[in-house]
Structures are given as C-alpha cells and as structure tokens.
Chain A
Amino acid sequence: MIDTFPPFASPRSAPPPAEEDLRLLLLIRHFELTLLRLFEAGQLSGTTHTCLGQEYIPVALKPLLEGDDFVFSNHRGHGHFLARHTDPHGLLAEIMGREGALCSGVGGSQHVYHRRFLSTGVQGESLPVAVGTALTLKDTGALTCVYIGDGTWGEGSVYEALNMARLWEVPLLVVVEHNGIAQSTPTTAQMAGTVAGRAAAFGIPHHRTASTEIDEIRAELALLVAEVRSASVPLVVEFATHRIGPHSKGDDTRTPEEIALAADHDWYTRYAGLFPEAFGRLDREMRELVERAAADVSARPPSVWERP
C-alpha cells in the first residue's frame, strides 16, 4: 500500500496512517453517521450504539488478528465488525432488516454472528463464551478476542471468566474500550480500583495505551498479542478512549464541556487538519460509498426468515 499522504508538520511525530487504514476509519465513521441520519429520518427502528471516536481501536487491531481467531463484540460493535469483514451492505441490511442481512434481520444491530464474529446485547455475557472458544484454540496459534467496555466490568461473569482463562491458560485477548462512561454513568461512579488492578488480581498481563495512532498501537501490541498465541495466555489490553457521540441516539446528558473534551480526541478532526487534501478526498469517497450502500440497501425488499 502506497502512502499517498504528504508528509506533514505536526506537534506529534507520528506519520499519518496508511491509506488503507484511513479508508477503514472513514468507512466506519460514515457508516455510523449514516445510521444516526437514517434514525432521524425515521428509516430505522429500534436502537443503535455508534462507535464514533473509537473507530481506531478495531482498525489498529485488524492486522493483529488472524482468520481463525474468534472475535466477540458487544452493543457498540459496528466498527468491530467492519474491521473484521468489510461488508457494510450486509451489516446495514441486518440493521435495516433487508434482503442480504447477515442474520436475516433477526439479530439487528446488537446480535450478529458471521463466520467467527459474534456479538450479543447482554453485557458481560460474552466473556465466558469467549473462554470456551479459546479453550478449543489452545496451542493452535489462534486466539479469541473479546471487546468489552469499562462499564461491563461491573458484571460478575467477567471475573469468573478471567479466573478460568488464567487457570486454564487460554489464548484470550480482552480488549477494553475504556471511554470513561457507561451509558450516562461516569466510570468513577461505577468502578472501584482499576482495570489494571483487576487483571493483576488474576495474574493476567495488562497493557494500557492512550495512543490513538494506528501504527503506534500496533507497535505496542504486536509482541504482546503474539505471546497470547504462542504461549496460550490471556492478555488484557486497555484503550483509554473517548466516546464522542451519544450512548445510543439523542441520549447524551454530558455537559457541552464534557462532550467538547471528548471531541478534542477525535482522530477525524485531527487528520482533517493535518493533511486536508488527501483526507478530504478519502473522506468524500467513503461518505459517498456509504451513501450508495444506504440507498442500495434501503431499496431492497424486507429480509426473509425461516422461523424454527
């Protein structure tokens, strides 16, 4: 992949992300923005949780994951999915209940099972299941990756699973998207102690990163993730991140200052400012791609489901 971005002068020394990565970031961003727009226009029902601001996490992890790995996702899973399977049409059809839906429109936004990607809408439920799949991957070189939010560390199943993961030495990569808030409740009002301390209690290695730079993150994690595969051990990777959008839709009760603070960390505005031309071109390209996908999927007939 040729990097088409001009070198830029920035207070940060990191080079711009590869075009391929930026495309994926923008695909996810426009996918999520489109969902919010469709909701506003009354074309979507139910609910949805967008990953605005957090897109870089699954994008950074993408090349660290292999084809045989299981990936478990949660309610905020569109980015996790798109970084695993570049199929915005299939996912949108699932969310809209149209022909070509990944799960016939039964699961919707929060319940997708496609190849070895699985999401569920009940917090904390996935971790024990992830341990079970990881048991079958022991010594195969593959791993199970499971995304959870900081709030989900309230659920007891998380600890029961971590205990077994360590006891039985399974290749489990726990990715914590620590955005400092769960729905409306700040983490400080939910969590005593820290994620690091909790991982340490089980003797599970823990790595925290505040970086939002794709390549920097990959460099930090490459060896650690390789170790999960080769030594068959669990690992907790904690991303200090920011949710720049609402929890679902129109339900952000943070103060304007708090929202602005989160938005300060948005890779989108940063990249747009750093290399406006190349960014603008890709941004337009991906926005149009998603717009076309939305028009295409909206015009499809409803999904068909054979009820068991």
Chain B
Amino acid sequence: MTRVSEHLNRALHDLLAADPGVHLLGEDITDPYGGAFKVTRGLSGRFGDRVRSTPLSEGAVVGVGAGLALAGRKAIVEIMFADFATLAFDQLVNFAAASTSMYGRPVPIPLVVRCPSGGNRGYGPTHSQSPQKHFLGVPGLHVFELSPFHDAGRLLETMLALGRPCLLFEDKVLYTRRMYEDGVVDELFRYEVTGGVARVFLEGAAEPDCTLVVHGGMAHRALAAMRDLLLEEDVVCELLVPSQLYPLPDLPGLERAGHVCVVEDGSEGGGWGAEVARVLHPRLWSTLRRPITLVASAPSVIPAAPHLEREVLVQPGHIRHAIMEALS
C-alpha cells in the first residue's frame, strides 16, 4: 500500500533522476524537513542544489522557476499552502502563461507549481482553501490535480512536456490516503484510467442514474456518497475524475448518463463546476434530462474550528442530498 504523498515523492525522485534538467524550489523542502507535507523528502540529499529551499518569497520564487524554464531547464515549485499561490498570481498569469504566446512565437515555459490545497484539517481560513477556480480561464495556464487514480510520475511528465506553466493542486487529506491499484477501489467499485480521466463504476451496471464529475481531492467524498446512494437509495452512480481540470479534457460516456453532477471543494460561485457545465451543456444538450447539478463548498471563508469547517466544506452528505434532490 502506497500513500499518495509517498507515491508523489517517488515520482519526484524518479523524475529528477531521469532528467538532470529538472529543478525543484520551495520553502523548507530540503532535508531533513523535506517540506511541510514531507513530499520532497530525500530529494535534496540525492540531487544537491537542484533542490533548493527558498526564502518566504512565493511571487519571486515562481518567477525564478519561470526563468529557469525560459533558460531551457524545467522547474517545479512547491507553494507551501495553495492559499499562498495568490502571491504568485502576477508571475503565473502575466509572465509565465502570457510569455508562452505574447512574443508572437511559441516560447516554452515548462513550469509546474505544486499547491497543497483543501481543508478538513482545521488549519483555518488562510491555510485550507481550494483556490483552483482563481486560475481557470487563463490562456496558456493549465490546471491539474493529483488523484488517487492517476500515476503522479506520468502526470508530472505530461505537465512538463506541455512546455506551458501548470498548476498542480494536491489535496492535503488525499496525501494521507492510499493510491488505488489494479483497477479496484473496493468491493463495490472498479476503475479504469483512459485519456487522463479516471472512471469509477459499479461492475456490471448498465446506465448510471447519475455521473459525478469531481477533482482528485473530492474523490473519496464522492465515493462515500456513491456508496450510500447505492446501498441506501438504490441509485447507481459513476464517477469521472480528470487529472486536468483546465482546459477540460474530453469526458467519456456522458451521453448515457441519466444525470450529471459536478462537485468541487472550492467556494460556490465562479467555480470549476460552472466551467465544466459550460463545456458539457452544448455537448449533452440533446441527451440531458435536467440541468447539470453543481455542488460546491459554501460561499464562505473556511473556519478553523472543525465543527464549523465541516458545515462549510462539501461532505458526502451534501453530495448525496444534492443528487437525490435532482433525481426526485
């Protein structure tokens, strides 16, 4: 059994070993600390100053990453908490993303900015957000998310091969979960990954009553809801988890879905779900029986106290409730 954080750590080890042009930057990422979430453990010992702990300078560090990329290297930058990616917004949007096209010719910027995101850990309003939505719709900027289904090594390679700046969101609770293996989720559900999209399904089921579309950090909560819906409501759900959130890749099998529900951890309003619906509505207009259901966290700051935090962030019960309401 491999924890997601260990899996990602191994992927980083393999990547740095395979490609001497890859650099890694971030606060407190060198040994023995190995990063706030231990994802970079062992890397500085092995790869020397290709792995650098930086000052507290998120904006400039992402700029440095872009500079390394501009000069022909590949850069991976860790932002300690995704909330602080806002400090690098200018570098990402006005430099890294824009530069890939604003000089009238393609300029490769192979840069990945890793952002540990999400709540349910009681870290409070500035250390718990899922700010994916703030980075959607920026020309030249790709947004990805870690999942328990997708191989992190392949994901890192894909992102760097794009030659464009990418954000990689990594849910902090997901770090502690295990990677799924061999197509098996549990005794009920199976999965397969095709075209970068993981599809989780009930074996032998024909048409699902509802297909959920979620990002990697939401996978476990979606699965919990699917299990309850199946066992207690007799509602069959399928789950799609794309590793690339923006631009949205082709999502398979939706034409036969009874209903589509997009769930995201970000706060309600201007979110990823709306973007997914924007892409899907014209495509599915003739087969959809009702509008796509969007589930998001409350339009609220994320409280530190667990009993308040729980109310704000999407929980399995919210998903189940929203689906039952839509299907009723």
Query: If the complex has contacts A156-B60, A191-B55, A253-B32, are A120 and B304 also in contact, measured as CB distance less than 8 A?
Result: no
Least Cβ–Cβ distance between B129 and chain A, in angstroms: 11
Let me know if B122 and A45 touch, CB within 8 A.
yes
B123 interface residue per 8 A CB criterion = yes
Least Cβ–Cβ distance between A194 and chain B, in angstroms: 14
Let me know if B56 and A303 touch, CB within 8 A.
no
Let me know if B56 and A190 touch, CB within 8 A.
yes
Let me know if A251 and B60 touch, CB within 8 A.
no
B287 interface residue per 8 A CB criterion = no
Within 8 A of B (CB), among A136-155: 151-155
Query: If the complex has contacts A120-B126, A156-B57, A190-B56, are A46 and B33 also in contact, measured as CB distance less than 8 A?
Result: no
Binds A, one of B103-111, B197-205, B306-314: B306-314
Let me know if B126 and A122 touch, CB within 8 A.
yes
A53 interface residue per 8 A CB criterion = no
Secondary structure at chain B's binding surface: helix, strand, loop or mixed?
Answer: loop
Say which residue of A96, A108, A122, A253 sits within 8 Å of B83 (CB atoms): A122
**Which residues of B are found within 8 Å of A191, using beta-carbon distances?**
55
Say which residue of A109, A124, A302 sits within 8 Å of B56 (CB atoms): A124
Query: If the complex has contacts A121-B124, A253-B32, are A105 and B304 also in contact, measured as CB distance less than 8 A?
Result: yes
B27 interface residue per 8 A CB criterion = yes
**Which residues of B are found within 8 Å of A121, using beta-carbon distances?**
124-127
Bound-state CA distance A124–B56 (Å) is: 9
Say which residue of A111, A152, A251 sits within 8 Å of B33 (CB atoms): A251
Bound-state CA distance A76–B298 (Å) is: 29
Within 8 A of A (CB), among B47-71: 53-57, 59-60
Let me know if B57 and A105 touch, CB within 8 A.
no
Say which residue of B27, B55, B57, B308 sits within 8 Å of A97 (CB atoms): B308
Query: If the complex has contacts A105-B304, A106-B305, are A151 and B56 also in contact, measured as CB distance less than 8 A?
Result: yes
B264 interface residue per 8 A CB criterion = no
A110 interface residue per 8 A CB criterion = yes
- A255's closest neighbor in chain B, by CB? B32
B175 interface residue per 8 A CB criterion = no
B158 interface residue per 8 A CB criterion = no
Bound-state CA distance A111–B305 (Å) is: 12
Bound-state CA distance A183–B33 (Å) is: 9
Bound-state CA distance A152–B56 (Å) is: 6
Bound-state CA distance A105–B59 (Å) is: 30
A12 interface residue per 8 A CB criterion = no
**Which residues of B are found within 8 Å of A67, using beta-carbon distances?**
none
Interface centre among B54, B60, B304 (most CB of A within 10 A): B304
Let me know if B33 and A105 touch, CB within 8 A.
no
B300 interface residue per 8 A CB criterion = yes
- What are 7 A-B interface contacts by the 8 Å CB criterion? A47-B122, A97-B303, A105-B305, A107-B303, A108-B305, A111-B304, A190-B55
**B binding-site residues for A, Cβ under 8 Å:** 27-28, 30, 32-33, 36, 53-57, 59-60, 83-84, 87, 121-127, 298, 300-301, 303-308, 311-312
